[in-house]
Structure 1
Amino acid sequence: MLISVQLLRALAAWLVVGHHVMQLFFNFEAHNALEDLLVEKGGAGVDVFFVISGLVIFLASADKALTPWRFMLMRLARIAPAYWFYTLLLALLVMAMPSMFPDVQLELSHVLLSMLFIPAQNPAGYGVYPLLDVGWTLNFEMLFYCLFAVALLVREAYRLWVVAVLLYLVCYVIGPFFDLADGFYRNDIVLEFLMGVVIGMLYRRGLCRARLWLALLGIVAALAAIYQGADVPRALEWGVPSAVLVISCVALEPYFHGSRFIKMLGDCSYSVYLLHVLVLCAGRWAIEHRGVGPYTMVPVCIVVIALGAFFSYHVLEKGTHRRIKHWFGLDESMPFSRQRH
C-alpha cells in the first residue's frame, strides 16, 4: 500500500469523525472557524475515501489472474466481518441501552438488509440508511465491487470503460426505471470510484510523478477548491478536488515511504470509520445525562476511538481476514495491508 494514500485515508477518516462530533455534540452549531469547517466540509472525507477505493481496487487487481468470484470473496473477507460486528454490536447496545441511541430503531428485516449491503429505508425515518448509518458508503462500495468484478472478465486496458458503462446503466438507467432502493444509487458520487481507477492507471504507467512544489501546489489547490465549494454536483464540487488531492499525495510517495506510523494510521482508518459513531453516541449520552461538558468529552472520545480502532484492526480486522483467507484458500501472496477498503 502506498504510504501517502494511508496518510490520506487516516486524515479522511478523522475528518468524518469531526463532522459527526459537530452533529452529535453540537447539533451542527459552530462556534469557531474549525468547527465551521468541520460542519461544512467534514463530509468531504467520504469523497476522498471513494477516490482512494477506486485507486486501491485497480492496483490490487492489476497483473493478477483474478476471477470475479475470487475477487468478491477477497473484498467480502476484507470489509464484511468488521462491518457485521459493529452492526450487531449496535443492535445489542440499542436493546440494552435504548436511551443512548434515541435515533435508532430496530427491525429484523432492516438489520438483515443492512448486513447484506442492500439499501433500504431506515425505520427511524431519516432516509435510506443501514442500521450502522455510516455503512451507506459501503453500499456504494459493494456496488462498485460487483461491477468491477464483472470488468475482470475483460482485459485490463478496457476495465475502466466497462465499469463506467455498467455504473451508468445501473445508476441512471436500470435503477431509475425500477426505482431501485428509492433512488439510492442515482448519486453522482459513484463517479469518484472511476476517478480513482484513472489515477491507478496513471500510476501504473509511471505518470503520477511531479516535482515537490507542483505536488504541494496540487494539494493546496485541491483543499482550496473543497473549502470554497460551488453550486455544482458533488462529484465536481468535492470529487474532482479529492482526485487532485489523491494524485498529488501519490506524487509525494518518496517522502513518506517506509513510515510505519503513517501506515498504522491508515490501517486503523476503517475501524475508526466504523466504530466512531457508537463512541460518539455514548459521549452524547454522557453529555445529556451526566452533565459532562462537550469540550471535555471530545478528547475523551478521540482517545477511545483511536485505541478502539487500533485493537479492532489487529484483533478483529486482521485476525478474521487471515482466518477467512485460510478457509477459502485465497491468495496469500497479496499482503493484508494492500487489501484495504
Structure 2
Amino acid sequence: MLISVQALRALAAWVVVGHHFIQVFFNFEVDTPMAYLFADKGAVGVDVFFVISGLVIFLATADKALTPWRFILMRLARITPAYWFYTLLMALLLLAVPSLFAETHLETSHLLLSLLFIPAQNPGGFGVYPLVDVGWTLNFEMLFYLLFAFALLVRRSYRLWVVAALLYLACYLITPALNWADGFYRNDIVFEFLMGIMIGMLYCCGACRTPPWLPVLGIVVASAAIYHGADLPRALEWGVPSAVLVISFVALEPYFHGSRLLKLLGDCSYSVYLLHTMVLCVGRWFAERNGIDPYAMLPVCLVMTAVCAFFSYQWLEKSTYLWLKRWFGMEDPAILSRQKY
C-alpha cells in the first residue's frame, strides 16, 4: 500500500468524523465558518474513499493471477468481520440503551439485510441506510467488488472498460428495471471507482512521476474546487476533485514513503469510519445529561474514536483477516516460507 494513499485515507476518514460531529450534535445548524465547512463539505471524504478504493483494488490485483472467487473471498475477509461486529454492537446498544440513538430503530429483517449488504429502507424513516448508517458506502463497495471480480477474467488493460460497462448495466439498467431499493444504486458516485482504476493504470505505466510542484498545485486546485463547489452531479463536483487529490498524493509518494505513523493512521481509518458515529452518539447523550458544551465534548470523542479504532484494527480487523486468510487457504507462500525458516 502506498503511504501517501494511507495518509489521504486517514485524512478523509477524519473529515467525515467532523462532518458527522456537526450532524449528531447540531443537526447541521451551525453559525461558525469552520463548523459550516465541515457541515457543507465534510461528506467529500466518502468520494475520496471511493476513488482510493478503485485505485487500491486495481493495484492489488494488477500483477496477481487471482480468480474471481479468490478475490471475493479476500475482500469479504477484509471488510466483513469489522462491519458485522459493529452492526451487532449497534443492535445490542439499541436494545440496552435505545435513547442513545434517537432516530434509529431495530428490526430483525433490517438487521439481516444490513449484515448481507443489501440496501433497504431504515426503520427510522430517514432513507436507504443500514443499521450502522455509514455502511451505505459498503453496499456500493460490495457491488464494485462483485463487478470487478468479473473483470479479472480479462487482461489488465481491459478491466476499466469491463467494470465501466458492468457498473452502467447494474446501476442504470438492471436495478432500476427491477425497482430495487428505491433506486439506491442509480447514483453517479459509482463512477468514482472508475476514476481510481484510471489512476491505478497511470501509476502502473509510470505516468505519476512528476516534479513536486505539480501535485502540490493539484492539491490546491482540487481543494479550491471542493470549497467553492458547483451545480454539477456529485461525480463531477466532488468526484473529479477527489481524483485530483488522490493522484496528487500518489505523485508525492517519495515524500511519504517510510512513515510508520501515516501507515498506521491509514490502517486504522476503516475502524474510525465504522465506529465514530456510535462514539459521537454516546458523547451527545452524555453531554446532554451533564450539561457539557458540545465543543468541549469534541476532543473527548476524537480521542475515544482514535483509541478504539487503534485496538479495533489490531485485535479485530488485522487478526480476523489473517485468520480468515489461513482458513480460506490464501496465505502468501513467501510469507509462509519466512515464517517456517
TM-score above 0.5, yes or no: yes
Equivalent residue for 2:265? 265
Preserved CA contact (<8 Å) 1:222 1:245: yes
Question: What are the equivalent positions in structure 2 for 1:170-181 lying under 5 Å apart?
Answer: 170-181=170-181
For residues 334 and 22 of structure 1, do their structure 2 counterparts lie closer, same or farther at Cα, with a shift above 3 Å needed? Answer: farther
Inter-partner Cα distance in structure 2 for 1:102 and 1:28: 16
C-alpha RMSD of the superposition: 1.0
What is the one-letter code of the residue matched to 1:290?
A: N
Are positions 1:232 and 2:201 aligned together? no
For residues 75 and 334 of structure 1, do their structure 2 counterparts lie closer, same or farther at Cα, with a shift above 3 Å needed? Answer: farther
Are positions 1:73 and 2:73 aligned together? yes
Preserved CA contact (<8 Å) 1:287 1:294: yes
Greater alpha carbon shift after TM alignment, 127-136 vs 32-41:
32-41
Inter-partner Cα distance in structure 2 for 1:174 and 1:81: 29
Inter-partner Cα distance in structure 2 for 1:80 and 1:58: 20
Inter-partner Cα distance in structure 2 for 1:55 and 1:248: 13
Equivalent residue for 1:303? 303
Q: Deviations over 1:140-197 (max 9, x none)?
A: 0000000000111111111110000000001111111111211000000000000000
Q: Classify the secondary structure of the residue corresponding to 1:127.
A: coil
Inter-partner Cα distance in structure 1 for 2:208 and 2:33: 34
Inter-partner Cα distance in structure 1 for 2:295 and 2:102: 22
Equivalent residue for 1:242? 242
Equivalent residue for 1:6? 6
What is the one-letter code of the residue matched to 2:42?
A: G
Equivalent residue for 1:146? 146
What is the one-letter code of the residue matched to 1:138?
A: L
What is the one-letter code of the residue matched to 1:239?
A: G
Using the TM superposition, give the Cα deviation of residue 295 of structure 1 relative to its aligned residue in structure 2, in angstroms: 1.1
Inter-partner Cα distance in structure 1 for 2:333 and 2:218: 34
For residues 193 and 333 of structure 1, do their structure 2 counterparts lie closer, same or farther at Cα, with a shift above 3 Å needed? Answer: farther
Equivalent residue for 1:106? 106
Inter-partner Cα distance in structure 1 for 2:183 and 2:78: 27
Inter-partner Cα distance in structure 2 for 1:322 and 1:250: 27
Inter-partner Cα distance in structure 2 for 1:210 and 1:122: 46
Q: Deviations over 1:294-340 (max 9, x none)?
A: 011100000000000000000000011111011111142699xxxxx
Equivalent residue for 1:26? 26
What is the one-letter code of the residue matched to 1:250?
A: V
Q: Deviations over 1:193-237 (max 9, x none)?
A: 000000000000000111111110000000000001000000000
Aligned length, in residue pairs: 335
Are positions 1:165 and 2:165 aligned together? yes
Greater alpha carbon shift after TM alignment, 230-239 vs 325-334:
325-334
Using the TM superposition, give the Cα deviation of residue 108 of structure 1 relative to its aligned residue in structure 2, in angstroms: 0.6
Structure 1 runs of 4+ with >3 Å offset? none
Preserved CA contact (<8 Å) 1:325 1:332: no
Equivalent residue for 1:155? 155
Q: Classify the secondary structure of the residue corresponding to 2:207.
A: coil
For residues 334 and 221 of structure 1, do their structure 2 counterparts lie closer, same or farther at Cα, with a shift above 3 Å needed? Answer: farther
Equivalent residue for 1:330? 330
Greater alpha carbon shift after TM alignment, 264-273 vs 24-33:
24-33
Q: Classify the secondary structure of the residue corresponding to 2:119.
A: coil
Equivalent residue for 1:339? none
Inter-partner Cα distance in structure 2 for 1:35 and 1:182: 32
Are positions 1:316 and 2:316 aligned together? yes
Q: Classify the secondary structure of the residue corresponding to 1:31.
A: coil
What is the one-letter code of the residue matched to 1:31?
A: D
Inter-partner Cα distance in structure 2 for 1:290 and 1:333: 55
Preserved CA contact (<8 Å) 1:100 1:285: yes
Instruction: Give structure 2 stretches of 5+ with no counterpart.
Output: 336-341
Percent identity of the aligned residues? 71
Instruction: Give structure 1 stretches of 5+ with no counterpart.
Output: 336-341
Q: Classify the secondary structure of the residue corresponding to 2:10.
A: helix
TM-score, with structure 2 as normaliser:
0.97
Inter-partner Cα distance in structure 2 for 1:122 and 1:100: 17
Inter-partner Cα distance in structure 2 for 1:315 and 1:177: 43
What is the one-letter code of the residue matched to 1:240?
A: V
Are positions 1:86 and 2:86 aligned together? yes
Equivalent residue for 1:54? 54
Inter-partner Cα distance in structure 2 for 1:333 and 1:286: 50
TM-score, with structure 1 as normaliser:
0.97
What is the one-letter code of the residue matched to 2:136?
A: W
Inter-partner Cα distance in structure 2 for 1:10 and 1:197: 20
Preserved CA contact (<8 Å) 1:188 1:235: yes
Using the TM superposition, give the Cα deviation of residue 254 of structure 1 relative to its aligned residue in structure 2, in angstroms: 0.3
Inter-partner Cα distance in structure 2 for 1:209 and 1:238: 24
Equivalent residue for 1:276? 276
What is the one-letter code of the residue matched to 1:22?
A: I
Q: Classify the secondary structure of the residue corresponding to 2:128.
A: coil
